[in-house]
Structure 1
Amino acid sequence: MAILERVPAVLSLSDPRATNTELSGGKGANLAKLVSAGLPVPDGFCVTTAVYEELTDDEEISAMIDDLEATDPIDTERLRERATRLRDTIRAKELPEDVQESIEVQLKSGVSYVARSSATAEDLPTASFAGQHSTVLDVSSLADVTDAVLDCMASLFTDRAVSYRARNEIAHEVVSMCVVVQEMIDADASGVLFTADPLTGKRTVASIDASTGLGEAVVSGTVTAENVRVDRESGEILEYRAGVSGDDGSDLVGANEPTGDLENGDVPNTESDRVLTNEQVTTIVAYGEGIERSFGSPQDIEWSIADGQFWMLQTRPITTLSPLPEPRPDDDALHVYYSWNHRQGMTEVMPPLVVDYWSRTMDVLFDRFGSDPEAGLSSATAGGMVYIDVTPLLQSDRLAPYLLEGLNDFDRQAIAPLEEIRERRGDEFAQTSVLRGTSLLQTLSTVGKVAPVVGRTLGSILRGLVGRSYEEVPRRARQWADATAEEMIREVRSGDSEAERLRIALEKNDEFSWKAMEVALKLWNVYFYRAALRRLCPGADDEFEALERGLRENVTTTMMIELGDVTDIARDNPDVERALKEGRSLDEIREVAGGEEFTAAFENFLDEYGFRAPAEIEFSRPRYHEDPSPLLGTVQAKLETGDPGDHRTHVERLETETERAITRLERQANRERFGSIRRRLVRPFALRYRSYLSMREVTKYALSQLLDETRRQVLAAGEKLEREGRLEDVNDVWLYDFDELLFELTNPDTPTDVDLDARRAEQFHHQQLRAPRVITSDGEIPRGGIASTIDTDGLVGIPTASGAAEGQARVIEEPSDATLETEEILVAPHTDPGWTPLFLNAAGLVTNVGGKMTHGSIVAREYGIPSVVVAGATEQIETGQRIRVDGNRGVVELLED
């Protein structure tokens, strides 16, 4: 037994070596830590992972594990068959005699034991594996215990454990199993304590589930336990909810009902009718406080009470909580954070380097506007997302309405939770100030920075009222974007080292943010002309939306038109069309008849737009010039059902509809008071409105070019570190923040102590969570809801582009490897300019997040397709399902499964 000669087969839980996860697994190591901290834990021992390694150290089992690893996780039937064979093979083994002797020494006569699986990949901060492995109750003889140990070790390959590992990208071969054998507690009451509220995320509220007898019924869900919610700071019982179970303790009869008043915290004095007394509740919460401090994070703790004695049976991190925004506030008051990612309509988790990039950008921008970094607007990060501390705005009766109104067009779903937390917990808010200090000098300094920009914006509005200079706005805006990006990229490339080029890229992003702010303020022209037109023609909302369609000079619309032109070239060359439909590569297409013409046009398109990509602000993702396959897929899909020139015909039709809408607005204005004057103003104002609308995407268009260059420089730095042997994979460079990466580049002999493996696992864990759009400093996620009076069985959301369309849904989470057939309805988590090619074929759009002024909604209106934002749309709608998108009412009807 070579392995057992080096590592102990059996360890007491009181042995310091038992705290090693590699020996005792997650559950065993945590129990050993509880013992070392002096907490009441039933006596027991670990049959260490060395025993499992010895049992499975043969060619047959190794081959079976390799087969399991090679099985597609989607092939559940084959996965189940191979897992079953593995379990049966391990169960058929026998524990070595010396291991059985070591176990026998630990057993006490007349004592019942429980055997619990303890895998090396469970009870971790990023993966709990709760309930995935076996527990065997009430064993006493050596034979029963050894059988239970083998059952637990074999349970490393239960169907659910195998599936869980596949979902969490944990290799089967790297996981091992220990078995914890403990004295079984004949419990009077048992349950689970969560040291943070698992429903709301609030870290200051503990939640206890309790029932009489053994805790297995609570954990397995065969009884509805009593639930107690406790304010950890005051010790007050906020709510006591009675449990319900069947006569045999195994059937769920119904939902539990509160026995206390949740609104005012009243709890009846009938402790005899409850599982836990108030004193016991206080004691359990106190144990939880100590355990959470020891482990450094909120814990899920199993406990029992026997003859008045408390026992801690298990503890694991609560892995479903959204991380708290960092840095943590210095005060004890409540802070409220709003997700900048949701505001951008991009809710995917970003790697540390990208998070750091945008967090820095926000803070520099706030600083330029004079915000106090200690008490004003500031950024924070959590779970691969960037958040803004909006407490200074929310706590102000004057500023809060501006914040909420400003969200109406971009992220209306955020308004309800922000209003709800302000109303319910506003008296707990930190008292902050938006601007740095209150002195006259500081105020004048801030005004001095902003006034010139505002002045130029007002000047542009006044100049636009006379002459025809407005006609040049879209062209000049694009020229500005290209020239600004070109100049900044040239400066980035002027750096004489990887580190220097990265530093310049950071500086240029800060510089660009301010320039973009000035350009964005010119869009006040849009709001000015929209307000003016509404005054001239009250109640004509449908006509106003028609004005937003067919903006051929908008950079994203231009991109779609030019991709349509490329498609027509393929359509004119049958061999090219055939090659595209067969999914051939660009190099292969070049060799067929007409291939040179097509590939030249396609490469010209990439020269113009290759810096773009889906989820553009997440610049760790490849750009189109790196992976053009999504564009080729769009061309292929368009060839299936489209007609030559229909992309241009479509825009021309929208322009015709716009002209008719202007005519109708003129007629309506003419019917109002001072009609002749009103009518003469409608057309010039409408044309100016459309002209300024056409420039609204140029800042992101320019930014995307700068992000593409920043991506190039980050990858160049990663390639350098990979060549020097300091990175295993160039893409691991995204796991640093910028300071760490710059340190690595400039200090080759002093590597950082960054644990890249831990960061990779943490990022994957964050991808499994649903990031909240609003979260407080104590972890609460206010839900809020959008009230609706619409009577429908469909999904009610927010209308963002009018019209209606019916067709088959195509749910696309990641557009890089997806195509959309003509007349299908695109259902996506969000969209940005990188998704634009898919709009060539879309009949309608449904997104999880967004608002009237987010990219997808804007393009939907420009392209004349209906759009609705529905929370959780990608989870409630399935590909192939026939749906109807009603962009007038904000409803998605599910017509057919």
Structure 2
Amino acid sequence: MDVLDLSAIDSGQRELVGGKADGLAALIRLGERVPDGFCVTTEAHSRGEMSRTEVLAAYRRLGGGPVAVRSSATAEDLPDASFAGQQDTFLAVEGDDELLTAIRACWDSLHTERASTYREAAGIAHDTVRMAVVVQRMVDAEVAGVLFTANPLTGSRSESVVDAAQGLGTAVVDGVAEADHYVLDGADPEERGCLTPARLKELREVGEGIQRQLGAPQDIEWAYGRDGTLWLLQSRPITTLFPAPPVSGKPGPRLYVEFGHVQGMLQPVTPMGMSTLRTLLASMLASFGMTVDIVDIGGRLYGDLTDVMRAPSTRQRLVKLMAVDFGPRAQAVVEHLLDDPRFAPEHGARRRKAATLAAGPKAVAGILGALARPAAARARVFGTIEHLRQQPVVDPSTAPELLALVEDAEQPNTGLQAITWPVVTGLLIGAALPPLLKGIASDDEIRTVLGGMPHNVTIEMDLALWQVAQHAAPHRELLLRASPDELAAAHLAGELPDFGLAAFLDAYGQRSAAEIDIGVPRWSEDPAPVFAILANYLRGTDPDQAPDRRFERAAAKAEAMLAELVRRARRASPVRGRLAGFALRRARELAGLREAGKFAGLYALRDRRRRLLLIGAELQAKGLLEHADDVRFLTLPELRTVVDRSHGPNGTGPHGPDPHGPDPHGPDPHGPELRETIAGRQSHYVRELRRRAVPVALLSDGTDVETLLPAPASDGRTLTGTGASTGRVSGRARVVRDPANAHIEPGEILVAPTSDPGWTPLFLTAGGLITETGAVMAHGPTVAREYGIPAVICVPGATERIRTGQMVTVDGTTGTVTVDELATTDTAMTSPRRS
């Protein structure tokens, strides 16, 4: 069939009629007023020809005259990719030949450069897309425009936004003329511009009704005819919105702060990883006296800090916590909301008993012991890590037994006490330096003391990999010629010469980028990222820029600065001099341990992941999963249900049939539900991997709080962030969004969305570091300081505003980045033409 009237299109026919026609048909089924029209289906496009008779007969049924001819590709108006303006629209088309020509032109627009580029960016295969075409009667518009049922700039679901102009809406949707702009928050709109308050109210009400029935915020094109009739010309999901927080049932508004960027992780967390991290973060925050609900928003970990904000006992402590552990972006958000009356302190609330890290005799003994005997404390830390590395593990043979061990691993590991207090002591002594040295040392000078820091397991890992690169030098041609994926496959097959990589992976193979997510493959499973880093190291030719020499220079500079600060403190006061010397020396002896706790915890994650994959392999062998690692898209309780149902008599459980019937909370392993659940979550996960920006804080209505802050002044060439490692360097930028296959030439400035330990080997050859997120004491900045490379963190939109190859200057002292010429954001992806 080549032609279908819009009113005859049923739900589920998207592959036949494309996204635009499918959306218009949904509006018609809802009873909305849509101009009459028909669709030339994808069947005609697949053949490369259309039935002239059918098309012209449908045109006659419309009464002939001017029509709008619009693309309706199958990959269009998707929930995560609008394709706005990527394919063509023709307005006021009149006449048989003109209509047929316009339809063919819409077909041809499927393969334009802009449409192909957009599909590649959205991860959509070209050969899977087909084109239908919508033909509709033209509306003689008095005024027309666009309605967003949520604010696309702030993310607020409490606001609707309208852009309108006289006549046809093309001036608005193509962005070629200034439009009247309205933000509707439910209050009575004022009289101004081309829309009356009555029409604005009607648009808001219509939009709310459509959003409610379609289940998502909508981007709606509309037009008022000369007779005052409102016509809807299109409705599709707003694709740029970050997901809103789940409904909490608590009085609002609520404040949610994102936790992943603290660990240098912006990619989504797998469902299996989410359960582990939620428990871990809630426990960590409880140690600060904060009871925080951890929620999943867009696959990221957010904490509801509303009650902490409103409680007088924790309100001001929260600002300090944000500054130290969550970074300047989160700190700015909290400081802004402290003045918001909606987050005013609740003085009548019951005061919570505030716990502290130093509460209890064990904590006091542990901290004092580490301060008194730092070498012994370090020995206990690294002894524990080595014990964990060599600890023999035995895996049971069945999924129920394996899962029992995984569930036991959810409980806190009391064997890590030998690590906890030395690490905490290092963090505390580092945090004590600024107030102790106030008036004596600047923040930059204190950061210099913390450079070239010994006893850091991540630094030791990076330098160990550098040594592997030196041993691999005879094989340089092979390691630079083959791709990282090819080299990884060869290594796992035992086909590469031994140049020390096996020993490195034995010590550090449990690591990876985003390593806190148990759903992410470790380097030991997929060493491709390690081979990419080795290739970067082998490209270096300047011995003076070798990482070990850079680290030694940073250490020497730190020791010299330490001595200078002690001299200054002594001149101020002998007592203060002794205290400063003690604190500075202990900081250098203990602050490097900050990575040790996480590093030690990775062994448990390694074992847990291995057992989950063994469970997945058994379920795959039974035909329940397509792939063994599909288990990462289930939660632990769901996996328990699947395992229980897949064992025992008749596969109904380990103890026979369940007298209460199937568990309503878990997917049925013997039906299509399990695979459908996994496929849906995997699709969502892949979509979220492509997301470039993650809000650091959200309100309960979806508002990105940073959009409410005053914009910093800019001269058009300078980006402002936070200095995290002192120094000034100029070089060519290298924008990297994924470290797995990153190519970075020696001396280039690494521009990244974030950084965690999996990124830090790239620092060994980088001349400087720029990130969009982070905290001064987080992994990336810490390692940058220890290598002595300038770093500026929390630079909004850095990976979009800076292009690879541009000359940039990183000033870690002022917290600024100067760019020869700032890049403009890709308009095809963020402010597209529309159709």
Cα shift at 1:197: 1.1
Contact 2:728–2:790, Cα closer than 8 Å, also in 1 = yes
Task: Out of 636-645 and 776-785, give the one that drifted further.
Answer: 636-645
Aligned residue in 2 for 1:724? 622
Aligned residue in 2 for 1:457? 363
Contact 1:485–1:706, Cα closer than 8 Å, also in 2 = no
Contact 1:670–1:679, Cα closer than 8 Å, also in 2 = yes
Output the CA distance in 2 between the equivalents of 1:701 and 1:678: 35
Output the CA distance in 2 between the equivalents of 1:397 and 1:811: 43
Aligned residue in 2 for 1:696? 594
Q: Is it true that 1:127 corresponds to 2:120 in the alignment?
A: no
Cα shift at 1:473: 2.0
Aligned residue in 2 for 1:401? 316
Q: Is it true that 1:316 corresponds to 2:220 in the alignment?
A: no
Name the aligned partner's letter for residue 395 of structure 1: R
Alignment match of 1:750 (pick from 670, 688, 710): 670
Name the aligned partner's letter for residue 402 of structure 2: R
Alignment match of 2:432 (pick from 494, 518, 531): 531
Query: What do the CA deviations read for 1:231-281 (whole angstroms, capped 9, x no partner)?
Result: 13xx432xxxxxxxxxxxxxxxxxxxxxxxxxxxxx4x5x5xx32111111
Q: 1:532 to 1:420 in 2, by over 3 A?
A: closer
Output the CA distance in 2 between the equivalents of 1:864 and 1:621: 30
Aligned residue in 2 for 1:215? 169
Alignment match of 1:843 (pick from 767, 779, 782): 767
Count of equivalent residues: 787
Name the aligned partner's letter for residue 228 of structure 2: G
Aligned residue in 1 for 2:194? 275
Query: What do the CA deviations read for 1:338-392 (whole angstroms, capped 9, x no partner)?
Result: 1111222211233333334423443466678886xxxx52011122211111111
Output the CA distance in 1 between the equivalents of 2:732 and 2:112: 38
TM-score (norm 1): 0.79
Contact 2:736–2:752, Cα closer than 8 Å, also in 1 = yes
Name the aligned partner's letter for residue 602 of structure 1: L
Aligned residue in 2 for 1:95? 51
Consecutive unaligned residues in structure 2, runs of 5 or more:
647-668, 823-835
Q: Is it true that 1:353 corresponds to 2:272 in the alignment?
A: yes
Output the CA distance in 2 between the equivalents of 1:661 and 1:780: 44
Name the aligned partner's letter for residue 545 of structure 1: R
Name the aligned partner's letter for residue 840 of structure 1: L
Cα shift at 1:289: 1.4
- Secondary structure at the counterpart of residue 419 of structure 1: helix
Cα shift at 1:622: 3.1
The residue correspondences of 1:342-491 to structure 2 (distance < 5 A) are 342-363=261-282, 377-410=292-325, 411-424=327-340, 426-427=341-342, 454-464=360-370, 466=372, 469-484=373-388, 490=393
Task: Out of 621-630 and 183-192, give the one that drifted further.
Answer: 621-630
Output the CA distance in 2 between the equivalents of 1:774 and 1:827: 23
Aligned residue in 2 for 1:782? 705
Contact 2:156–2:703, Cα closer than 8 Å, also in 1 = yes
- Secondary structure at the counterpart of residue 813 of structure 2: coil
Name the aligned partner's letter for residue 608 of structure 1: A
Cα shift at 1:509: 4.4
Name the aligned partner's letter for residue 697 of structure 2: V
Cα shift at 1:738: 3.3
Q: Is it true that 1:25 corresponds to 2:18 in the alignment?
A: yes
Alignment match of 1:881 (pick from 798, 803, 806): 806
Contact 2:34–2:233, Cα closer than 8 Å, also in 1 = yes
Aligned residue in 2 for 1:764? 686
Aligned residue in 2 for 1:70? none
Could you say which structure has the larger radius of gyration? Answer: 1
- Secondary structure at the counterpart of residue 523 of structure 1: helix
- Secondary structure at the counterpart of residue 337 of structure 1: strand
Q: 1:644 to 1:609 in 2, by over 3 A?
A: farther
Aligned residue in 2 for 1:203? 157
Q: 1:485 to 1:786 in 2, by over 3 A?
A: farther
Output the CA distance in 2 between the equivalents of 1:791 and 1:672: 41
Task: Out of 552-561 and 637-646, give the one that drifted further.
Answer: 637-646
Q: Is it true that 1:341 corresponds to 2:260 in the alignment?
A: yes
Aligned residue in 2 for 1:563? 465
Name the aligned partner's letter for residue 563 of structure 2: T
TM-score (norm 2): 0.85
Cα shift at 1:219: 1.6
Contact 2:427–2:594, Cα closer than 8 Å, also in 1 = no
Q: 1:465 to 1:471 in 2, by over 3 A?
A: same
Aligned residue in 1 for 2:144? 190
Alignment match of 1:669 (pick from 547, 569, 580): 569
Output the CA distance in 1 between the equivalents of 2:554 and 2:206: 67
Output the CA distance in 1 between the equivalents of 2:624 and 2:440: 64
Q: Is it true that 1:176 corresponds to 2:130 in the alignment?
A: yes
Query: What do the CA deviations read for 1:10-53 (whole angstroms, capped 9, x no partner)?
Result: 33333363673233322222222222222222223333333334
Name the aligned partner's letter for residue 681 of structure 2: R
Q: 1:399 to 1:146 in 2, by over 3 A?
A: same
Output the CA distance in 2 between the equivalents of 1:224 and 1:740: 53
The residue correspondences of 1:527-676 to structure 2 (distance < 5 A) are 527-528=428-429, 531=432, 535=436, 538-541=439-442, 543-570=445-472, 575-577=474-476, 579-580=478-479, 582-583=481-482, 585=487, 599=499, 601-639=500-538, 640-643=540-543, 647-673=547-573, 675=574
- Secondary structure at the counterpart of residue 109 of structure 2: helix
Contact 1:474–1:554, Cα closer than 8 Å, also in 2 = no
Name the aligned partner's letter for residue 458 of structure 1: V
Output the CA distance in 1 between the equivalents of 2:434 and 2:289: 35
Contact 1:820–1:838, Cα closer than 8 Å, also in 2 = yes
- Secondary structure at the counterpart of residue 691 of structure 1: helix
- Secondary structure at the counterpart of residue 833 of structure 1: coil
Output the CA distance in 2 between the equivalents of 1:744 and 1:803: 55
Query: What do the CA deviations read for 1:801-821 (whole angstroms, capped 9, x no partner)?
Result: 122333333332222222444
Name the aligned partner's letter for residue 705 of structure 2: P
Q: 1:521 to 1:477 in 2, by over 3 A?
A: closer
Contact 2:357–2:363, Cα closer than 8 Å, also in 1 = no
Output the CA distance in 1 between the equivalents of 2:700 and 2:493: 60
Contact 2:429–2:583, Cα closer than 8 Å, also in 1 = no
- Provide the alpha-carbon RMSD of the alignment: 3.7
Query: What do the CA deviations read for 1:410-447 (whole angstroms, capped 9, x no partner)?
Result: 411122233334434x326897999xx87xxxx78x86
Query: What do the CA deviations read for 1:580-610 (whole angstroms, capped 9, x no partner)?
Result: 4555948989999xx96x52x3322221111
Q: Is it true that 1:867 corresponds to 2:815 in the alignment?
A: no
Cα shift at 1:718: 3.6
Query: What do the CA deviations read for 1:662-681 (whole angstroms, capped 9, x no partner)?
Result: 432342233223x2x44455
Output the CA distance in 1 between the equivalents of 2:40 and 2:524: 55
Q: Is it true that 1:504 corresponds to 2:424 in the alignment?
A: no
Cα shift at 1:648: 4.6
Output the CA distance in 2 between the equivalents of 1:302 and 1:788: 34
Name the aligned partner's letter for residue 61 of structure 2: Q
Contact 1:18–1:24, Cα closer than 8 Å, also in 2 = no
Query: What do the CA deviations read for 1:503-554 (whole angstroms, capped 9, x no partner)?
Result: 5335424414995898168524543476379647841235533432333322
Output the CA distance in 2 between the equivalents of 1:588 and 1:147: 54
Q: 1:521 to 1:194 in 2, by over 3 A?
A: farther
Identity of aligned residues (%): 33
Q: 1:772 to 1:546 in 2, by over 3 A?
A: closer
Output the CA distance in 1 between the equivalents of 2:164 and 2:437: 66
Q: Which has the higher contact order (CA 8 A, sep 6+)?
A: 2
Contact 1:337–1:391, Cα closer than 8 Å, also in 2 = yes
